[in-house]
């Protein structure tokens, strides 16, 4: 028997070329993993859920600045606005489901079809909406409204007292609204008739909300097309007070509103 005279190859004899190929393969696999992870995240964001941060006081007391909410994208079906940057690849909605009066809705404002707003849906297609001395009327009937204890809040003009009212819709859905009095700019309106395929939105902070009571040319929302609905706000996931910062880790705890964590929205 002839015995081979060559020495066995050991791990230490790996060439630079082999090492370069191995490193390149590992880099490729890492890139592929990151790509798949981003793709899955994008699909979930488009199809199922999307997080939003509340930037203003227009939905107080239901939503506070600093609330971090989860919006279900499948609640009303999907449109081009379900996709980042709203590419013009869809017309109307697919698998459309009708929203309900009282839903808290994220939508693209008709003014630019780009900016996300969040309000409460108060008017369905064909409804007649009117506000008289701060009381909301739908199709000629006043929405049930009970006065609660006023609250002191911080505003842009310092601390002030704000009225609190519990509204109850005919469906039984109930929520609390803020009001600075019955004679604000849009506490007494004409009758708004909601066009077919559109919705009427209002903020719970009734005297501090640019909503469907204001036309788009006045900086408001006007009537919102069904296509512009992004999704239904379902839950407050986390919440932080003003002053919390990503770059100040201690504020993640000192400025957390723990009592608002995982609150289901009504």
What residues are annotated to the active site? 58, 119
For the chain, give the number of residues: 266
Q: How far is CA 204 from CA 56, 169, 224, in A?
A: 12, 14, 17
Question: Alpha-carbon distance 99 to 109, whole Å?
Answer: 17
One DSSP character per residue, 5-38 reads: -SPPP-GGG--HHHHHHHHHHHHHHHHHHHHHHH
Q: Which residues, listed in sequence order, are joined to residue 130 by a DSSP beta bridge?
A: 137
Of the candidates 173, 151, 178, the one whose C-alpha atom is nearest the C-alpha of residue 104 is 173
Provide the CA 253 distance to its chain's centre, in angstroms: 24
CA 77 distance to own-chain centroid: 16
Longest dimension (CA), the chain: 109
Q: Which residues contact 135 (CB under 8 A, 6 or more apart)?
A: 142, 143, 145
């Amino acid at each position: 028997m002839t015995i081979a005279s060559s020495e066995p190859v050991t791990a230490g004899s790996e060439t630079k070329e082999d090492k370069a190929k191995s490193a390149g393969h590992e880099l490729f696999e890492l890139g592929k993993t990151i790509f798949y992870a981003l793709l899955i995240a994008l699909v979930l964001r488009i199809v199922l859920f999307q997080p939003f941060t509340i930037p203003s006081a227009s939905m107080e007391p239901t939503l506070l600045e600093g609330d971090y909410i989860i919006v279900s994208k499948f609640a009303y079906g999907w449109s081009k606005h379900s996709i980042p940057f709203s590419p013009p690849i869809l017309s109307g909605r697919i698998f459309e489901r009708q929203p309900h009066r009282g839903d808290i809705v994220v939508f693209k404002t008709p003014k630019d079809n780009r900016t996300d707003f969040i309000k409460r849906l108060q008017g369905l297609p064909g409804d007649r909406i009117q506000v008289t001395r701060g009381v909301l009327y739908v199709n000629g009937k006043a929405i049930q409204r009970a006065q609660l204890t006023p609250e002191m809040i911080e505003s842009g003009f310092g601390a002030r007292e704000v009225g609190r009212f519990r509204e109850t819709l005919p469906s039984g859905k109930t929520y609390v609204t803020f009001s600075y009095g019955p004679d604000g700019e849009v506490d007494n309106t004409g009758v708004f008739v909601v066009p077919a395929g559109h919705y009427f939105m209002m903020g719970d902070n009734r005297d501090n909300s640019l909503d469907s009571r204001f036309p788009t040319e006045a900086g408001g929302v006007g009537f919102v097309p069904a296509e512009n609905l992004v999704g239904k706000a379902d839950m407050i996931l986390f919440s932080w007070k003003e002053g919390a910062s990503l770059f100040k880790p201690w504020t993640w705890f000192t400025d957390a509103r723990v009592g608002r964590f995982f609150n289901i929205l009504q």
